[in-house]
Amino acid sequence: MAAPLKDFFSADVVRAVADELAAAHRPFPRAAFVRDATRGLEALELMDRGRHVMRAMRTHLPDDPAEAIGILERSLGPPLDAAGPPEATGGGHGMAPFRYLPHVLFVAEHGLPCFEASMRAQHALTQRFTAEFSVRRFLEAEPARTLARLEAWTRDPSPHVRRLVSEGTRPRLPWAGRLRAFQRDPTPTLALLERLKDDPHPYVRRSVANHLNDVYKDHPARLVGVATRWLRDASPERRRLVEHGLRTAVKRGDPAALRALGYRPAPGVEVVRATVTPASPRIGGAVRIDVEVRNGAARAADVVVDLGVHFVKADGGATPKVFKLRAVRLPPGGTAALGRTIALAQLTTRTHRPGHHAVDVRLNGRVVPAGGFTLRA
């Protein structure tokens, strides 16, 4: 079993951070910092460990926040690009970039009085870890000034920095508080995404797609309008971006989103076979759902085929969870066999409960019942 993420942020990492801070600022009291930063560290989870080390930084760095943040910036190692292309936060570097979590939290907590020093630090930090959590504080406190800086960063040579523009302004960023102002009106962030929609790096484009998906949840009609416009004369890369950005819309069977992607109602397509095995799986096991669809119409049909599983809730009701299968093109009389195995292990994001779970097939958003299974404890 893999070690918990929190275990990465160990006393050894604290000592390494202390060495970097002492190299950047000779008067830094290394021993006192290590003592305070490691006291009680083992009992904490990952984010709390970051905050604990950040508080020790605040105790032992100079009182002036601009000076303290300047020291943090000078203490940083080389950018991630020096070791390879970014694929996600930290790229192929494992947990190593998380050593800079306290630095990001420091800027978020203490950097508002020194905007320029904080922006320089976040520009550097996001090339080594991420600054998506800290930049949100500045978007809330000084939105116009911060948006202007982010607009300039859409042209930055580093894909890490360009990604920060999209990721840091996401209204529903995971692990972060929501940006309520942008939930109410996404106009400022959509203007930034316009500049990034054809970014040369897939790392940036994927963030733009995730941002679009966030916007859809609060402004579905507006987002579909943006997607429709972006799809005109779109490159293959931009089309993939839009398809990923509309994934929630497609799962919900949003007719306007499906039309934007070229999928029209397909009443002639039907489910001719659906099997669910085993019929009575246990919690912790898995269930296999196989379906066969057929086009009975006289013309070809493009169809997005998804599965809906209605998971039992604590109150005895049920909530559907949509699982992607794939998009298929069916000629007249053509068939396609599709299937998926769904794990039934307990997850932090989904609790499985005994009871009957209905299953349906979704054909361009049209829901067709397809049996079910009875989950056992």
Assign residue 319 the CATH number of its domain: 2.60.40.10
| Residue 271 CA: distances (Å) to CA of 282, 296, 309, 348 | 27, 10, 16, 33
My answer on whether 210 and 340 are in the same domain is no
Give a yes or no: residue 160 inside a domain.
yes
For residue 255, which of 179, 119, 180, 363 has the smallest C-alpha distance? 363
pLDDT tens, position by position, 106-148: 999 999 999 999 999 999 999 999 999 999 999 999 999 999 9
- Nearest Cα residue to 134 out of 108, 109, 115, 111: 108
Q: Are residues 9 and 115 in the same domain?
A: yes
pLDDT band at 83 (very low <50, low <70, confident <90, very high): very low
Q: How many domains does the chain have?
A: 2
Average pLDDT along the chain: 94
**Residues 376/315, Cβ–Cβ less than 8 Å:** no
State whether 158 and 19 are in the same domain: yes
Q: Are residues 40 and 157 in the same domain?
A: yes
Q: Is residue 289 part of a domain?
A: yes
Q: Does a structural domain hold residue 366?
A: yes
Identify the weakest region by mean pLDDT among 47-51, 93-97, 108-112, 364-368: 93-97
Same domain, yes or no, for 291 and 367? yes
Q: Specify if 304 maps to a domain.
A: yes
Backbone angles phi, psi at 98, to 5 degrees: -65, -10
What's the domain range around 337?
269-375
In angstroms, the Cα distances linking 121 to 116, 130, 149, 183 are 9, 11, 13, 27
Is the Cα dihedral 245, 251, 255, 261 positive or negative?
Answer: positive
Asked if residue 184 and residue 38 are part of one domain, the reply reads yes
**55-82: burial string, b at 16+ Cβ within 10 Å, e else:** bbbbebbeeebbebbbbbbebbeeebee
**Interval 154-206: pLDDT, tens:** 999 999 999 999 999 999 999 899 999 999 999 999 999 999 999 999 999 99
